[in-house]
């Protein structure tokens, strides 16, 4: 049976939960969303292409979670509360097994992040997924990349490098315990959404980690006109990563591997207590990696001595290189 676009949406995507901000959801020409008074809209789009951003035979349910988590991660970077998302789904054909698995993972993430599906477009073509997320922040309160000041601390949430390690076992058919940790990080990322909303009055700048810590922190530094010194010994590495790789490779994965979907942020050193309290409240691991200074660029140190990023010989993922 060939599924029409309308059948496909009705069967797989119309039972998603609705949010309080949704005036008109799936099924009209536009979704209509009502923001809270005094709030601005934060919005971002993220695309994943088969064979580029995920393997040709992925965990399809995991992919459904991952594509939404990666987009929600941009809301997290701004401290925005989720309001809704749209899905542009391009598929070679309407494969019902695929659609059932994909929409299951997408629905799970939709519930987890409390972000309802409000609209989308389904088209025929090479497998490609774009998710546009909508969130809201009180006007003037969005976390930006540009607010880091000399003297601020540099922080990250979670552990880094596990999603990069997943690329080494993505095509396996059986997984070690460590590899299961990596795969969970790859397919089931949990960007720290509620934590970041609470961080709005505490952090000075923030970015989500999608291209790797070194590349993403560089965006904060460039936007803020500042430099930073980062202690590679303080990088938060999972036990699985440390057990599976040499220290050098584990650090390289943490610094330059992408897809962590954790938060990197800067904050005045006067906020340390507040940050640890917030981390405990939200059960989020928070690691202080170094500090912001004047000048430009990212400087790495180990035990106080400078080291060169090229030491790791594995730069962040640049989409067109």
Is residue 32 within 8 Å of residue 134, measured between CB atoms?
A: no
Is residue 262 within 8 Å of residue 208, measured between CB atoms?
A: yes
Q: How far is the CB of 245 from a second copy (least distance, A)?
A: 27
- Residue 55 lies near a second copy (rule: CB under 8 A): no
Taking the alpha carbons at both ends of the chain, their separation in whole angstroms is 41
The tokens describing 223, both together, are 């936007």
301 forms beta bridges with 231, 306
- Residue 52 lies near a second copy (rule: CB under 8 A): yes
Residue listed under structure tokens 């799936």: 26
Per-residue contact track with a second copy, 87 to 106, x per CB under 8 A? xx-x--xx------------
Nearer to a second copy, 35 or 114 (CB): 35
CA 128 vs CA 44, 155, 264, 321: distances in Å: 17, 33, 28, 20
Nearer to a second copy, 4 or 172 (CB): 4
- Residue 123 lies near a second copy (rule: CB under 8 A): yes
Footprint (CB under 8 A) of a second copy, residues 242-281: none
Q: In what order do the strands lie in the sheet with 153-157?
A: 205-208, 263-267, 153-157, 286-293, 227-231, 297-302, 305-307
- Residue 305 lies near a second copy (rule: CB under 8 A): no
Piece of 12-20, 72-80, 103-111, 149-157 that binds a second copy (CB under 8 A) = 72-80
- Residue 56 lies near a second copy (rule: CB under 8 A): no
Is residue 314 within 8 Å of residue 178, measured between CB atoms?
A: no
- Residue 66 lies near a second copy (rule: CB under 8 A): no
Piece of 76-84, 160-168, 234-242, 251-259 that binds a second copy (CB under 8 A) = 76-84
CA 90 vs CA 49, 62, 104, 168, 226: distances in Å: 10, 17, 17, 27, 41
State which of residues 19, 105, 116, 119 lies at the interface with a second copy (CB under 8 A): 119
Nearer to a second copy, 71 or 237 (CB): 71
State which of residues 67, 107, 137, 232 lies at the interface with a second copy (CB under 8 A): 137
- Residue 81 lies near a second copy (rule: CB under 8 A): no
The SS3 of residue 240 is helix
The tokens describing 159, both together, are 């552990």
Nearer to a second copy, 59 or 208 (CB): 208
Q: How far is the CB of 28 from a second copy (least distance, A)?
A: 5
- Residue 29 lies near a second copy (rule: CB under 8 A): yes
- Residue 162 lies near a second copy (rule: CB under 8 A): no
Q: How far is the CB of 271 from a second copy (least distance, A)?
A: 21
- Rg of the chain taking only CA atoms, in angstroms: 20
**C-alpha to C-alpha distance for 248 and 203, rounded to whole angstroms:** 30
Nearer to a second copy, 90 or 242 (CB): 90
For 10, residues 6+ apart whose C-beta sits below 8 A from its C-beta are none
The SS3 of residue 104 is helix
Q: How far is the CB of 48 from a second copy (least distance, A)?
A: 8
Residues that bind a second copy (CB under 8 A): 2-5, 8, 23-24, 27-35, 37, 40-53, 74-75, 77-78, 80, 86-88, 90, 93-94, 118-126, 128, 130, 132, 134-135, 137, 139, 142, 144-146, 206-208, 223, 318-321
């Amino acid at each position: 049976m060939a599924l029409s676009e309308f059948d496909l949406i009705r069967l797989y995507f119309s039972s998603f939960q609705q949010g309080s901000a949704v005036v008109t959801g799936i099924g009209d020409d536009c979704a209509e969303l009502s923001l809270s008074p005094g709030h601005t809209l934060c919005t971002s789009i993220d695309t994943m292409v088969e064979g580029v951003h995920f393997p040709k035979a992925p965990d399809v349910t995991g992919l459904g979670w991952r594509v939404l988590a990666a987009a929600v991660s941009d809301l997290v970077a701004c401290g925005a509360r989720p309001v809704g998302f749209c899905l542009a789904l391009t598929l070679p054909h309407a494969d019902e097994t695929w659609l059932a698995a994909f929409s299951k993972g997408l629905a799970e993430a939709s519930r987890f992040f409390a972000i309802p599906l409000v609209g989308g477009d389904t088209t025929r073509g090479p497998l490609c997924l774009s998710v546009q997320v909508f969130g809201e922040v009180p006007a003037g309160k969005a976390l930006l990349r540009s607010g880091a000041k000399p003297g601020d601390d540099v922080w990250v949430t979670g552990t880094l490098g596990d999603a990069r390690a997943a690329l080494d076992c993505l095509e396996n058919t059986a997984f070690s315990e460590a590899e299961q940790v990596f795969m969970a990080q790859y397919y089931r990322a949990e960007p720290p959404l509620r934590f970041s909303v609470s961080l709005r009055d505490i952090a000075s700048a923030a970015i989500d980690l999608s291209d790797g810590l070194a590349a993403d922190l560089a965006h904060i530094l460039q936007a803020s006109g500042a430099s930073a010194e980062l202690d590679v010994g303080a990088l938060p590495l999972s036990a699985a990563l440390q057990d599976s790789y040499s220290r050098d490779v584990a650090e390289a994965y943490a610094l330059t591997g992408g897809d962590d979907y954790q938060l990197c942020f800067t904050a005045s050193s006067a906020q340390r207590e507040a940050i640890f309290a917030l981390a405990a409240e939200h059960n989020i691991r928070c690691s202080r990696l170094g500090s912001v200074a004047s000048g430009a660029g990212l400087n790495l140190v180990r035990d106080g001595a400078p080291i060169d990023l090229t030491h790791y010989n594995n730069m962040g993922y640049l989409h067109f290189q």
